[in-house]
Structures are given as C-alpha cells and as structure tokens.
Structure 1
Amino acid sequence: MWYSNLEYELASGEPWFPAVPVGLPRLLEVSGRGEHLRYPQGRSLPQAAAAPVEPVVCQVVIPPTYQRLPILSRLTSRFGVTVNIVGAVLSARRKRGGEFLLALGGKPQQQASSLAYLKDLQVQFVPKRDIKAAPRLLSEGDSSEQKPVVLPRGCDRVRLQIHIPAHCHPQPVISNLVKDHDVAVTILSASLPSQGEHDGWFELELWGLPTRLEAAVATLNQSDCALWLAQ
C-alpha cells in the first residue's frame, strides 16, 4: 500500500519536518544597471497572492489516559489550526484509545506546531485507514424530544450529546466552538465513519467562563446540529 511521505514518517516515528530550514524567498532580480526598483510616492509594493495551504490529513490514536483532556481542542486554542474531524470512533468506556482522522487547516507553521505537540504527547500516528464506526441516524423519537439546551445561570461546565448531520461535515463544528467562543472541549465518545457521507454522534464536555459557555451552546442551538444534555 502506498502512503505519502508525511503519512509514512508520522506512522514510522521518524521526523516529519525537513532536515534543513526553509529558505527565504530570493530577492527580485532587477534589469538594467542593478538599480533598486522604485515606486511613485504613496504607492505600496504589489502583493503576490498567497497560495492556499492544503490541510494536513493525519490519523491518530489517542490513548485512554488522555481521553479526559481536551487534546484536539488545544490544537485550535494553542496553535490556531482548524481541526476538521473526518472520522472518529471512541467508546465512552475508555478501555481502548480513540481513533480520529483529522484534517488540520492553517498556516504551515501552525500545522507543524500542532503535529509536534501531538508527537510530544506520544499520540500514535497510524497510516490512513477507514474508520468503521457504526453509523447512527437521527430517529423520529430523537427529533421530537430534542429541544434547545438552556444552561443554568453561572454554569461553567456542561456535558452534551450532539448529532452532527452529514451536510455539516465541511464545517469544523467543534473547532469553531473553541475558536469563536474560547471554550475548552473534551470529546468523551464519538462515532463517525470515515467512509462515505454519514452523520456524526459525539458526547462532549464543554467548560469555560459562563458567558462564553452560554454563547457556545446558543450557537449549537441555532445550527443544524441536534443536542441534548448528557445524563
């Protein structure tokens, strides 16, 4: 089976970063007698359009000892990357590690720092493979019982069950909660097959300042996701 250099290096434990520093762009060559290129006063240098940075796709297994920590949440809060969960399987019993297929969006240095953080935690990188979590569809009973979640006044921690429909997958729902509302998110359980278009089911624990937590839950209430208070 063929893997990209990045996937092979992550899976084998070898350094994935380049052995030499990235060089600076070369200076512009100026024709003529080598005079500096000048622009009329008041005009700025034209800016070249930045090439879009492709997300780094990696598959990780997070050991049970870390499953109570907001590991994926920290990638956004500390390094600024956008974490899109493409596939996930994590049992609430926490006897086995949770496996996640991630697409990390951001600047190259942000992506590199987030991957280095995971490696420092000894999170296991594995070759990309299908995550065969059992898909679960929103039933009619779930739909009728689901209501907007209202938090008690002063609440700074809440556990939620959330259903993310397939059409919301391009939106990094969980990562956006961290980025937009500055809350921490721990994934307690997850079920999202990586093959095809499937709904995702997650049990999350959110905590932060009460006002920010209320804003995060309000965002979820207004989205196409369904959520319930976890028992």
Structure 2
Amino acid sequence: MWYSNLEYELAGGEPWFPAVPVGLPRSLPVSGWKEHQRYPQGRSLPPLDAAPVEPVVCQVVIPPTYQRLPILSRLTSRFGVTVNILGAALSARRRRGGEFVLALEGGPQQQASSLAYLKDLQVQFVPKRDIKATPRLLNEGESLAQKPVVLPRGCDRVRLQIHIPAHCHPQPVISNLVKDHDVAVTILSASLPSQGDRDGWFELELWGLPSRLEAAVAALNQSDCALWLAK
C-alpha cells in the first residue's frame, strides 16, 4: 500500500486539508470504558465520505501524561479511521513521550477530525525520523508460538504482551480490535522500528464488556501473533 508523505507539512503547521468545519470532541475521560464506545448515545454519526482517500502518514510524540489513556484507540472508536502503526517507541517507565508513526486510513473528514483531535490534545507532530526501537527479549520458557490466552469468567479488563510479526504489518491489528470488537485499547509500551518491516512488541491493556473482551482475545489467539498475560 502506498502512503502519502505529509510528515513535514504536519510538523510545520501547514494546512493539510482544505478548510472545513471540524467539531472537536470533549476531553478524553480518564476512566470508564463506556465513554470509549463507538458513537455514544447522544452523538451523531460522523459524516460519511464519498470514498476513502490515500492514508495520511504522520509522526507524533504523545506526552507522558496521556500515555495511560486510549488515545490511538479513540481515533478508531470515535472517528472511524483505521490506525496502522508503522513505528513505535514507548517505554513502560513513561519518563519520556511515546513516539509513533501512524497511517490514518479513512475518508477526508474522518482524517481531518482525527488530526484535529490530536492537535487539540497538544500531541506534538514532528518531522519524519527513524525510530530505532529495541525489541523485547524472550524470557525463559517463552516462545513466539505462545498462545492461547484464556480469560477468567466475567473478566472486563486484561493486560497482554503481544508480538506482532513483520508479515502482519499490513493488518492494523490493534485498530481492528477496537473496530471489530468494540473494546478500548491502551498501549502501555511499544517497540517497533520504523526502518522497514520488523517485528513489533506491545504491552496492551484491553477493557470492555466481558463478551466483547473474550471475542477480542479469541481473535488474537487465532492470529499469527504470540501473546502472554502481562505480569
């Protein structure tokens, strides 16, 4: 898939879409997965574009104060864009901002609303630069074929460590969890070099209705990703 190259325009503050009215969402809630549900009651559906356009690629730094919030997950649940993570570096210690290369797929209004939302949260857009993330090392007894994860009955929140192999990069694995299963996903740590196709390592927190959470974890179990319950 071909991606547009708009990183420098975004970082320089230049307009990347024609001027159109964009409604900014209310502040992102600190807790409560119901606030993360797609198109909550009382809000109208986002306008449907005639046809999707080429993905918008941007490189962002998310401040440490936002790293426990499902910001990237919210782009899918609220605005309907598909978010493909092309590079990521986020330490679990949260001393520095998390840096991500994102491809936002959807219609022009969906893309514009998503970018406006990030800017409203004061997420920093930066020029394109390589992310040289360090891959996670396997612990004794772990395997890249490790699965399945089985959730306790009635579980509505789970933390997972997940390995996403390079050949899965065209598939927006994390965004699909939100879109297909209506769960919220917070990225707690991430390591995905942006120099070509590399394996990705993520620690995620998923929450939602138990039935939806079970379906999301079942989809991961059936994928080519390896996953572990985070300790």
- TM class by smaller structure: 0.7 to 0.9
Change (3 A) 1:171 1:137: farther
* CA distance in 2 between partners of 1:140 and 1:148 (Å): 18
* CA distance in 1 between partners of 2:17 and 2:144 (Å): 50
- What TM-score does the superposition give when structure 2 sets the normalisation length? 0.81
Q: Which sits farther off after the overlay, 169-178 or 136-145?
A: 136-145
**What whole-Å deviation, never above 9, does each CA across 1:125-163 have from its counterpart, x for those lacking one?**
001111111234768942278231000011000000000
List aligned pairs for 1:2-151, cutoff 5 A. 6-19=6-19, 53-136=53-136, 141-143=141-143, 146-151=146-151
* CA distance in 2 between partners of 1:19 and 1:76 (Å): 22
The alpha-carbon deviation at position 52 of structure 1 amounts to: 5.6
Change (3 A) 1:133 1:110: same
Change (3 A) 1:144 1:169: closer
Contact 1:166 1:200 in 2 (8 A): yes
* CA distance in 2 between partners of 1:214 and 1:5 (Å): 37
* CA distance in 2 between partners of 1:124 and 1:65 (Å): 13
List aligned pairs for 1:187-206, cutoff 5 A. 187-206=187-206
User: Once superposed, what is the RMSD of the aligned Cα atoms?
Assistant: 2.2
Percent identity, please: 92
* CA distance in 2 between partners of 1:10 and 1:211 (Å): 39
* CA distance in 2 between partners of 1:198 and 1:175 (Å): 18
The alpha-carbon deviation at position 227 of structure 1 amounts to: 0.3
Contact 1:136 1:199 in 2 (8 A): no
Change (3 A) 1:223 1:139: farther
Change (3 A) 1:113 1:90: same
- What TM-score does the superposition give when structure 1 sets the normalisation length? 0.81
List aligned pairs for 1:168-179, cutoff 5 A. 168-179=168-179
Cross-structure match for 2:209: 209
Contact 1:159 1:204 in 2 (8 A): yes
Partner AA of 2:82 in structure 1: T
* CA distance in 1 between partners of 2:78 and 2:151 (Å): 27
Contact 2:6 2:57 in 1 (8 A): no
Long gaps (5+) in structure 1: 22-49
Contact 2:51 2:107 in 1 (8 A): no
Contact 1:137 1:199 in 2 (8 A): no
The alpha-carbon deviation at position 20 of structure 1 amounts to: 7.2
Contact 2:185 2:204 in 1 (8 A): yes
